[in-house]
Chain A
């Protein structure tokens, strides 16, 4: 039988993680689905678990001049209602889950779940978010694109936990979030897209695009983006076929029970095109 521990302080959680092999449960919504057993039976975790959901000191949204900081046990709903949270993230949360899940699930849990179809990740990639990982004797900060290593694979040591998500503040002239799901709420994405652009004096100062569920991880190509920074908005639009060409070979979706790769690829390219042409 697996051991489970309810941590109510960060110190307790870190000590527990340091004492053996534990899986971390925050809101628990994804962990439940991955470890489902049967009605009337306890959740079928295969490893020991440490519950961190009740660590109040990690339930916060703070900001300074440069960043917004979201604690690991902060609910999606709290972020949605917060004045400080980035608008892109709020738009995503608004569409990614129904009220019941939003009141339960956490952003940190979403990140740790590392699903290629995770909507919030797409926004966090565009926002250049970083993840704070803590253990009893160390704290380190990792960029989200480095933290996520593959499908459900993350850069987290067995004695570490995510304690905070750091999101740099940016001003975009325009941003778009598009969740392409089989229905309008309460569904896993077939693919998702975030585009953000900053235009000053008709010049592209910043351009970022990220796609979910078209590759093993969220797809963001900073080298492609940088090629077009500095162009006039007119030049950018004239280059649309080049941009599509640039992304074309990197978009490698799969067939599954929700959609097929042809659709995912074409719609991904359509979304890029639509975003650029409407900027």
Chain B
């Protein structure tokens, strides 16, 4: 590895709607290194990547490639400059072969026809050069995820990329596939290709990267050697100063009222998970995306039915039917509100009351007065703005949409509320409001289970935190003892050594 820089950015700034998301970002990536970029959600990682690859235009600052000043206005410019991105959701065309995919859009032509032989030869040469386990004529639809990823990398390399950007490439890979990817990456490094590697997983950073840039709140807060740095140093830099706990609440936990999950297993995702969630407390579930968090709560709710193991509420088994569970007092705010949470073209009113017709109807007929009163009360109680019950929900801001979904359940006094990433895309003011509503519900004695990737939220809001890693519980933090750093370490599978229960 040389000291020569392949990419250097100088004081990159970017604002959206007047909010500055990048402040003077200086990124330096050397030739032939695997450089990691870490930071919490919203730290500005993806924004800087999008600027480098020409998806966004920067407000200010300069980009240098190989010491040369370059202007990147669109994806094409980035490709010209030798920058390639491997996206999380793969960009391959399933019905085509590896060769066809690699050359799609820039086929080698001979006498007006694609020169299949030549393209195949070049792909084979690339495969041989990097030692990939791929066949040029294989159809992508029949390949596994790891192979698809390799094909994607090959596609990037075929355009003579000097810098590969990988955005969380291991999310959908199994352990052995991940290892395969790392071997590939190391091979690339030996051949002199630089890689910018974005990940949340500390163990991967240790395993494969050379240096590490850490971002927080749109700024670079440090560049360290990732082979020698301590995990807690990294996490401390990511989080910044740990917020003082604002007076530890002692929740009024009712140990007689609980959901008990015993030996729950689901395919390859969850293995013998057991825990209890009590009435009166907010139970936080942490872990990385893909650790099985969403599947776990979906099982409890009854949306996923083919699990093994038992789930009981106060000793009685919980049904595997969503409708029955709702009648029994369950509620769920799903992970992606756009695809699973709300009904975009229906009114605020309809979105709120849709789960409560068991109370608002008689003999299958809606009691219009009760329905409208229910919605109005909910809109007022949970401060939905604008407070126009007939407005289609798609016209509200993200925060208010989320308020509506929460109001859907809170307005019917649910007994078990499951929240999956409840504050994604919600602005700070609304966030605080949502937390107040959740706490109020807990104080009434309800069981609240909250899945979150937001560490501050997880440690501040929940009374107890369980961290999932690799489909099973890794660590439990009781009595508000969870710190962001400890949770972050635990989700990466790096345990604070002293005992499982802090």
Partners in one complex: no
Residues of A within 8 A of B (CB): none
